Every structure is written in C-alpha cells, then in structure tokens.
Amino acid sequence: MSPNTEAVVVEVESLSKSYHISRVPRVVLREVSFTVRGGEFVAIMGQSGAGKSTLLHIIGGLEPPDAGRVRVDGRDVYAMDDGARSAFRRDHVGIVFQFFNLLPSLTAAENVALPLRLRGRHGDPSPRLDGQSVGERVSVLMDRLSLRGLQGHGPEEISGGEQQRVAIARALAAAPTLLLADEPTGNLDRPSGDEVMALLSRLCREQGQTTVLVTHNARVAAHADRVLVIADGMVVDELLVDAAAHRDPVSFRTLVRRLEQHDL
C-alpha cells in the first residue's frame, strides 16, 4: 500500500523554538507544520544552523518546543510527563545519531539488544522479553543489515559504516512506530555513507517503516519519498520523489543535482 493512503503517524503543528543564549534570542524554528504518513520516508534537508536537528529532537521527545504540538501515532508527545515520554520514546521511537552512540563496553549484538533488555526494569510497565526472543530479534536485524559474523565484535573492532549499521539495528530493535535519523552519514566517507543509505532505505521500504531523516546532503535526501527543505527555521520547499528515481542511476543523479540547487 502506498504511504499516501496510510494514516498519519506524525503530526507537527506550528512548532517554534528559540535559544536564549544572548540578549537577543536565537530563533531556530518558526511555526513549522507538516505530517508524515505510515510507511513514508521523509527527508528534511537544510544547511547547518537551519533548525533541522532541533526539529528532529523535538519530534523525538528529546527537547520541548516553545510553542506548538507534536503527535506521534496519535499521542501528544509533550502532554506526557517525563517518565511516560521516556518510555514512549523507547518503545515507539527509534533514533539514529551521526556519531553512532554505541556503548564501547558492549558487543555489537549487545548494543542492538539494549533497548529490549531495558524493558520491564525499575518499574517500567513494558513487558519484558525472554533471552531467546531478544536473541532472535537481534539475529534477524543484524542479518538484514549485513552484519552477520560481527555479533561478538566491540565497536572499536568494526568500521564506521558497520558501527552505523549496528546503531540502525539498535534503533529498529523495538519495532518502533517511527524511526528518526540525524545526519546518519555525516561521520562516514562517501562509499560507506552510500552503503548505509542503500541498506536503510531498502529496509524501510521492505518493512513499511515510517522514517524521518535530517541531512545537509542532497545525495542522502534523494533516497526519501519526499524532501522538505528547511531554511531559517521554516519549511520553504517540498519535493515528492518519483519512486523510479531510486531504481535508475541516471534519474537518481538528476534528482541529486536538483536538490543540490534547491530548484524545487
């Protein structure tokens, strides 16, 4: 089923955010509104300082807005208290960061399993999974992300591209309603970044995973179904991507050039 026929999963309504780091507040977001439907892969593209990472953090429940509302799967993220929002984020929102954020004391498989093993602890109401279920889920994800054979390796023993794929597997471990990716290739060379994005976009489409990604890189944004361009804290343009552009190298390069020029 096409994402356009699916129910709305993310509702961003009139978000505004400023940082009061000087006498004159720095406005980062200005009345930003958009929706994301189930199974849709949306890229938010903009230059450094445009407000895209702040927007992603607000959507993910990591940073409250000054004004506006975020709903994920019908739940008002900032109507929850801190504990409820943390539990909701862990069970329903997977986040991939630029710098991987893997725990160096854990193996690759243990990093992927971490969100599942934290369930049901310290009064958390989420049901705990037994060790066999966790192991099966981790094995499936690592296979899908071409990480077979690396389960027992520590983060320092694998490449940057492999570390980011482990981070993606960890973000997907709890089968989240929403996957957020913050410059997921920003710390990788181009070949590794291309490999990560090819795997991520394929996995998201195969699984119907609703995904919002932010990037300054047109080549990364071109993998999405829809691209929102953000500048000075506002969404200033939008592009619907023809699915054929993802299958044809020539069309893909044309799309990248168009995005690089912001000729939308």
Question: What pLDDT is stored for residue 243 in this prediction?
Answer: 86
Q: Which of 170, 45, 53, 176 is nearest to 100 (CA)?
A: 170
Question: What pLDDT is stored for residue 68 in this prediction?
Answer: 97
Mean pLDDT of the chain: 88
Place of tokens 């500048």: 231
Q: How far apart are CA 181 and CA 74, in angstroms?
A: 21
Yes or no: say if 220 and 213 are a contact pair by the CB < 8 Å rule: yes
**C-alpha dihedral sign at 139, 144, 149, 155:** negative
Q: What is the dihedral of CA 165, 167, 170, 171, to 10 degrees?
A: -100
- Reported as a single tens digit per residue, the pLDDT across 156-190 is 999 999 999 999 999 998 889 999 999 999 888 89
Neighbour tally for 238: CB within 10 Å: 12
Yes or no: say if 44 and 214 are a contact pair by the CB < 8 Å rule: yes
Yes or no: say if 65 and 79 are a contact pair by the CB < 8 Å rule: no
Q: Which of 183, 194, 165, 174 is nearest to 102 (CA)?
A: 165
Q: Which amino acid is at 161?
A: G
In the chain, % helix, strand, coil (3-state, to 5) comes to: 40, 25, 35
Contacts from 124-132 at CB under 8 Å and sequence distance 24+? 124/87, 125/87, 126/87, 126/90, 126/91
* Residue 22 neighbours by CB under 8 Å, 6+ apart: none
Question: What pLDDT is stored for residue 122 in this prediction?
Answer: 45
Question: What pLDDT is stored for residue 12 in this prediction?
Answer: 97
Yes or no: say if 213 and 42 are a contact pair by the CB < 8 Å rule: yes
The CATH number fitting domain 3-261, selected from 3.40.50.10490, 3.40.50.300, 3.50.50.60, 2.40.110.10:
3.40.50.300
Neighbour tally for 242: CB within 10 Å: 12
DSSP H helices, the chain, are 52-59, 82-92, 108-117, 131-144, 160-172, 190-207, 218-221, 249-261
Question: What pLDDT is stored for residue 131 in this prediction?
Answer: 67
pLDDT in tens, the chain (264 residues): 556 667 999 999 999 999 887 677 889 999 999 999 999 999 999 988 889 999 999 999 999 999 999 999 999 999 999 989 988 888 899 999 888 889 999 999 999 998 888 765 544 555 555 567 788 889 999 998 889 899 999 999 999 999 999 999 999 988 899 999 999 998 888 988 898 898 889 888 888 999 999 999 999 999 999 999 999 999 999 999 988 888 889 999 999 998 988 754
